[in-house]
Amino acid sequence: MQVVGRKFVQMGILISLITVLALSAQGANFNNASLQGTYSHLTNRCTADATDVQMARIGILTFDGVGNVSNSFTEIIGGQIMSGTFSGTYAVNSDGTAAITWSSSPNQVLFNLNSTVAKVAHGFQYVVTIVSDPYNETNVGEALIQSTTAATYSLATLKGTFSFEFDEATADSTLVMQGGIGLFTFDGKGNVKGSTRYIAGGVFQTGTFTGSYLVNPDGTGSISLSNGAQYAFVLNSLAGKLAKGLQFIQTNSTGNAAISGTALKQ
Protein backbone atom coordinates (compact mmCIF):
# COMPACT_ATOMS: atom_id res chain seq x y z
CA MET A 1 0.00 0.00 0.00
CA GLN A 2 2.83 2.37 0.76
CA VAL A 3 4.47 1.66 -2.62
CA VAL A 4 1.19 2.32 -4.46
CA GLY A 5 0.74 5.48 -2.42
CA ARG A 6 4.21 6.70 -3.40
CA LYS A 7 3.46 6.00 -7.06
CA PHE A 8 0.27 8.00 -6.88
CA VAL A 9 2.12 10.83 -5.13
CA GLN A 10 4.87 10.78 -7.76
CA MET A 11 2.27 10.73 -10.55
CA GLY A 12 0.45 13.65 -8.90
CA ILE A 13 3.67 15.63 -8.65
CA LEU A 14 4.45 14.94 -12.31
CA ILE A 15 0.96 16.00 -13.43
CA SER A 16 1.20 19.16 -11.31
CA LEU A 17 4.61 19.99 -12.79
CA ILE A 18 3.32 19.51 -16.34
CA THR A 19 0.32 21.73 -15.56
CA VAL A 20 2.53 24.47 -14.12
CA LEU A 21 4.84 24.35 -17.12
CA ALA A 22 1.88 24.46 -19.50
CA LEU A 23 0.37 27.45 -17.70
CA SER A 24 3.75 29.16 -17.65
CA ALA A 25 4.14 28.63 -21.37
CA GLN A 26 0.67 30.10 -21.93
CA GLY A 27 1.43 33.07 -19.65
CA ALA A 28 4.69 33.85 -21.40
CA ASN A 29 3.05 34.84 -24.66
CA PHE A 30 2.75 38.62 -24.45
CA ASN A 31 3.09 41.10 -27.32
CA ASN A 32 2.05 44.65 -28.18
CA ALA A 33 -1.56 43.51 -28.54
CA SER A 34 -1.52 42.67 -24.82
CA LEU A 35 -1.97 46.40 -24.19
CA GLN A 36 -5.14 47.83 -25.73
CA GLY A 37 -7.46 50.58 -24.60
CA THR A 38 -7.17 53.16 -21.84
CA TYR A 39 -5.42 52.78 -18.49
CA SER A 40 -5.51 55.10 -15.50
CA HIS A 41 -2.17 55.68 -13.84
CA LEU A 42 -0.69 57.17 -10.68
CA THR A 43 2.99 58.13 -10.55
CA ASN A 44 4.82 59.21 -7.39
CA ARG A 45 8.18 60.94 -7.48
CA CYS A 46 9.80 60.85 -4.06
CA THR A 47 13.09 62.39 -3.03
CA ALA A 48 15.11 62.77 0.15
CA ASP A 49 16.73 65.92 -1.27
CA ALA A 50 15.14 69.04 0.26
CA THR A 51 16.24 71.07 -2.79
CA ASP A 52 14.26 68.82 -5.15
CA VAL A 53 10.48 68.89 -5.72
CA GLN A 54 8.01 66.15 -4.85
CA MET A 55 5.55 65.13 -7.55
CA ALA A 56 2.35 63.09 -7.83
CA ARG A 57 0.71 62.55 -11.23
CA ILE A 58 -2.50 60.95 -12.44
CA GLY A 59 -3.53 60.47 -16.02
CA ILE A 60 -4.75 58.26 -18.83
CA LEU A 61 -2.51 56.11 -21.00
CA THR A 62 -4.01 55.02 -24.34
CA PHE A 63 -2.47 52.02 -26.12
CA ASP A 64 -3.45 51.10 -29.69
CA GLY A 65 -2.32 47.45 -29.56
CA VAL A 66 0.37 47.87 -32.23
CA GLY A 67 3.04 49.92 -30.42
CA ASN A 68 1.77 53.50 -30.10
CA VAL A 69 0.83 55.19 -26.82
CA SER A 70 -0.38 58.61 -25.69
CA ASN A 71 -0.64 60.10 -22.21
CA SER A 72 -2.77 62.92 -20.80
CA PHE A 73 -1.98 63.90 -17.21
CA THR A 74 -2.48 66.24 -14.27
CA GLU A 75 0.22 66.57 -11.64
CA ILE A 76 1.14 68.48 -8.54
CA ILE A 77 4.84 69.29 -8.52
CA GLY A 78 6.45 71.50 -5.94
CA GLY A 79 2.99 72.63 -4.84
CA GLN A 80 2.01 73.71 -8.39
CA ILE A 81 -0.67 72.08 -10.58
CA MET A 82 0.31 71.28 -14.16
CA SER A 83 -1.30 69.29 -16.97
CA GLY A 84 -0.31 68.20 -20.45
CA THR A 85 -0.10 65.46 -23.06
CA PHE A 86 2.68 63.55 -24.77
CA SER A 87 3.05 60.49 -26.97
CA GLY A 88 5.50 57.75 -27.79
CA THR A 89 5.95 54.10 -28.64
CA TYR A 90 5.94 50.90 -26.60
CA ALA A 91 7.30 47.40 -26.97
CA VAL A 92 6.13 44.32 -25.05
CA ASN A 93 8.37 41.27 -24.67
CA SER A 94 7.02 37.71 -24.65
CA ASP A 95 7.57 37.40 -20.86
CA GLY A 96 5.41 40.45 -20.10
CA THR A 97 8.22 42.91 -19.49
CA ALA A 98 7.86 46.08 -21.55
CA ALA A 99 9.04 49.64 -22.12
CA ILE A 100 7.66 52.99 -23.27
CA THR A 101 9.86 55.50 -25.09
CA TRP A 102 8.47 59.05 -25.16
CA SER A 103 9.04 61.21 -28.23
CA SER A 104 9.71 64.32 -26.10
CA SER A 105 11.87 62.84 -23.33
CA PRO A 106 14.99 60.68 -23.03
CA ASN A 107 13.46 58.92 -20.01
CA GLN A 108 11.94 55.48 -20.47
CA VAL A 109 9.12 53.77 -18.60
CA LEU A 110 9.94 50.14 -17.76
CA PHE A 111 7.07 47.94 -16.64
CA ASN A 112 5.71 44.44 -16.07
CA LEU A 113 2.24 43.37 -17.19
CA ASN A 114 -0.22 41.57 -14.93
CA SER A 115 -3.89 40.56 -14.50
CA THR A 116 -4.32 39.31 -18.06
CA VAL A 117 -7.92 38.75 -19.17
CA ALA A 118 -8.72 37.56 -22.70
CA LYS A 119 -5.06 38.12 -23.67
CA VAL A 120 -5.12 41.80 -22.60
CA ALA A 121 -3.26 42.96 -19.49
CA HIS A 122 -5.48 44.77 -17.00
CA GLY A 123 -2.62 46.28 -15.02
CA PHE A 124 1.09 46.94 -14.75
CA GLN A 125 3.64 48.42 -12.36
CA TYR A 126 6.37 50.69 -13.67
CA VAL A 127 9.54 52.60 -12.91
CA VAL A 128 10.77 55.65 -14.80
CA THR A 129 14.44 55.74 -15.76
CA ILE A 130 15.90 59.19 -15.11
CA VAL A 131 18.61 60.33 -17.52
CA SER A 132 21.28 62.69 -16.10
CA ASP A 133 19.24 63.60 -13.00
CA PRO A 134 21.38 65.01 -10.17
CA TYR A 135 18.76 64.43 -7.48
CA ASN A 136 18.33 61.50 -5.11
CA GLU A 137 14.83 60.47 -6.24
CA THR A 138 12.65 57.65 -7.53
CA ASN A 139 9.70 57.64 -9.95
CA VAL A 140 7.40 54.61 -9.66
CA GLY A 141 3.72 53.93 -10.25
CA GLU A 142 0.88 51.65 -11.20
CA ALA A 143 -1.57 51.59 -14.12
CA LEU A 144 -5.00 49.91 -14.17
CA ILE A 145 -7.26 49.37 -17.13
CA GLN A 146 -10.27 51.61 -17.67
CA SER A 147 -11.74 49.88 -20.70
CA THR A 148 -10.49 47.98 -23.75
CA THR A 149 -12.98 49.85 -25.94
CA ALA A 150 -14.00 53.49 -26.12
CA ALA A 151 -16.17 54.49 -23.17
CA THR A 152 -17.91 57.63 -21.97
CA TYR A 153 -18.10 58.36 -18.25
CA SER A 154 -20.54 60.41 -16.14
CA LEU A 155 -21.51 61.08 -12.52
CA ALA A 156 -23.42 57.79 -12.53
CA THR A 157 -20.20 55.88 -13.30
CA LEU A 158 -18.94 56.69 -9.81
CA LYS A 159 -21.42 55.29 -7.31
CA GLY A 160 -21.11 53.34 -4.07
CA THR A 161 -18.67 53.13 -1.18
CA PHE A 162 -14.92 53.01 -1.82
CA SER A 163 -12.19 52.34 0.71
CA PHE A 164 -9.14 54.55 0.19
CA GLU A 165 -5.60 55.06 1.38
CA PHE A 166 -3.41 58.15 1.00
CA ASP A 167 0.05 59.32 1.95
CA GLU A 168 2.18 62.42 1.67
CA ALA A 169 5.71 62.69 0.31
CA THR A 170 7.96 65.56 1.32
CA ALA A 171 11.60 66.24 2.19
CA ASP A 172 10.68 69.52 3.93
CA SER A 173 11.26 69.11 7.68
CA THR A 174 8.91 72.04 8.41
CA LEU A 175 5.91 70.17 6.96
CA VAL A 176 3.81 67.63 8.85
CA MET A 177 3.85 64.19 7.25
CA GLN A 178 0.50 62.47 7.04
CA GLY A 179 -1.07 59.28 5.77
CA GLY A 180 -4.20 57.30 6.41
CA ILE A 181 -7.26 55.40 5.29
CA GLY A 182 -10.95 56.15 4.90
CA LEU A 183 -14.20 55.70 3.05
CA PHE A 184 -15.73 57.66 0.17
CA THR A 185 -19.45 57.20 -0.55
CA PHE A 186 -20.54 58.57 -3.93
CA ASP A 187 -24.26 58.83 -4.73
CA GLY A 188 -23.94 58.76 -8.53
CA LYS A 189 -25.36 62.29 -8.72
CA GLY A 190 -22.42 64.47 -7.68
CA ASN A 191 -22.50 64.22 -3.89
CA VAL A 192 -19.89 62.52 -1.70
CA LYS A 193 -19.50 61.88 2.01
CA GLY A 194 -17.12 59.84 4.08
CA SER A 195 -14.79 59.37 7.00
CA THR A 196 -11.04 59.14 7.54
CA ARG A 197 -8.53 57.86 10.08
CA TYR A 198 -5.00 59.14 9.69
CA ILE A 199 -1.65 59.98 11.26
CA ALA A 200 -0.43 63.59 11.00
CA GLY A 201 2.84 64.57 12.66
CA GLY A 202 2.75 61.36 14.68
CA VAL A 203 -0.74 62.12 16.07
CA PHE A 204 -3.70 59.83 15.31
CA GLN A 205 -6.79 61.70 14.15
CA THR A 206 -10.27 60.96 12.80
CA GLY A 207 -12.77 62.98 10.83
CA THR A 208 -15.86 63.03 8.63
CA PHE A 209 -16.60 65.06 5.52
CA THR A 210 -19.13 65.87 2.83
CA GLY A 211 -18.61 67.40 -0.57
CA SER A 212 -19.26 67.24 -4.28
CA TYR A 213 -17.62 65.59 -7.28
CA LEU A 214 -17.47 65.90 -11.07
CA VAL A 215 -16.76 63.24 -13.68
CA ASN A 216 -15.55 64.11 -17.18
CA PRO A 217 -16.40 61.99 -20.26
CA ASP A 218 -12.84 60.54 -20.33
CA GLY A 219 -13.03 59.24 -16.75
CA THR A 220 -11.06 62.01 -15.08
CA GLY A 221 -12.75 64.10 -12.42
CA SER A 222 -12.47 66.22 -9.29
CA ILE A 223 -13.62 66.17 -5.67
CA SER A 224 -14.25 69.23 -3.46
CA LEU A 225 -14.66 68.44 0.24
CA SER A 226 -16.21 70.45 3.05
CA ASN A 227 -12.89 70.41 4.92
CA GLY A 228 -11.30 72.40 2.08
CA ALA A 229 -9.41 69.56 0.40
CA GLN A 230 -9.45 69.43 -3.40
CA TYR A 231 -8.62 66.33 -5.43
CA ALA A 232 -8.18 65.31 -9.06
CA PHE A 233 -8.84 61.67 -9.90
CA VAL A 234 -9.06 59.16 -12.72
CA LEU A 235 -11.43 56.17 -12.75
CA ASN A 236 -10.50 52.58 -13.59
CA SER A 237 -11.67 48.95 -13.50
CA LEU A 238 -14.97 49.51 -15.28
CA ALA A 239 -17.47 46.71 -14.59
CA GLY A 240 -20.71 47.13 -16.50
CA LYS A 241 -21.33 50.85 -16.26
CA LEU A 242 -19.65 51.38 -12.87
CA ALA A 243 -16.03 52.10 -11.95
CA LYS A 244 -14.56 49.85 -9.28
CA GLY A 245 -11.48 51.94 -8.55
CA LEU A 246 -9.86 55.36 -8.79
CA GLN A 247 -6.47 57.00 -8.28
CA PHE A 248 -6.21 60.54 -6.94
CA ILE A 249 -3.93 63.43 -6.01
CA GLN A 250 -4.61 66.41 -3.76
CA THR A 251 -4.45 69.55 -5.85
CA ASN A 252 -4.39 72.20 -3.12
CA SER A 253 -1.62 70.92 -0.85
CA THR A 254 0.87 73.63 0.11
CA GLY A 255 4.64 73.69 0.15
CA ASN A 256 6.97 71.13 -1.40
CA ALA A 257 4.73 68.12 -0.79
CA ALA A 258 2.61 65.72 -2.82
CA ILE A 259 -0.38 63.77 -1.49
CA SER A 260 -1.77 60.86 -3.48
CA GLY A 261 -3.83 57.74 -2.99
CA THR A 262 -5.99 54.97 -4.40
CA ALA A 263 -9.55 53.82 -3.74
CA LEU A 264 -11.28 50.48 -4.34
CA LYS A 265 -15.00 49.77 -4.31
CA GLN A 266 -16.35 47.84 -1.37
What are the residue boundaries of the structural domains of the chain, listed by start? 32-147, 155-265
What pLDDT score was predicted for residue 76? Answer: 93
Alpha carbon distances (Å) from 264 to 42, 213, 218, 242, 245: 14, 17, 19, 12, 4
CATH architecture of 155-265: Beta Barrel (2.40)
Average pLDDT for 243-263:
94
Please state, rounded to an integer, the average pLDDT across all residues of the chain: 88
What pLDDT score was predicted for residue 131? Answer: 67
Work out the pLDDT band at 134, boundaries 50, 70, 90: low
Per CATH, the number for 32-147 is 2.40.128.120
Equal CATH topology for 32-147 and 155-265: yes
- Examine the pLDDT at 184 and tell me if it is beyond 80: yes
What pLDDT score was predicted for residue 150? Answer: 87
What pLDDT score was predicted for residue 1? Answer: 35
Q: How far is CA 103 from the centre of its chain?
A: 23
Better pLDDT: 107 or 111: 111
Strand runs (DSSP E) across the chain, as ranges? 36-47, 55-64, 68-77, 80-92, 97-102, 108-117, 120-128, 137-147, 159-170, 178-187, 191-200, 203-215, 220-225, 230-239, 242-250, 257-265
Considering the entire predicted model, what is its pTM?
Answer: 0.85
Judge whether 232 and 220 are in contact, CB under 8 Å.
yes
What pLDDT score was predicted for residue 25? Answer: 40
> 6 in helix, strand or coil?
helix
Better pLDDT: 78 or 3: 78
Tens-place pLDDT, residues 164-180: 999 998 888 888 889 99
Q: How far is CA 125 from the centre of its chain?
A: 8
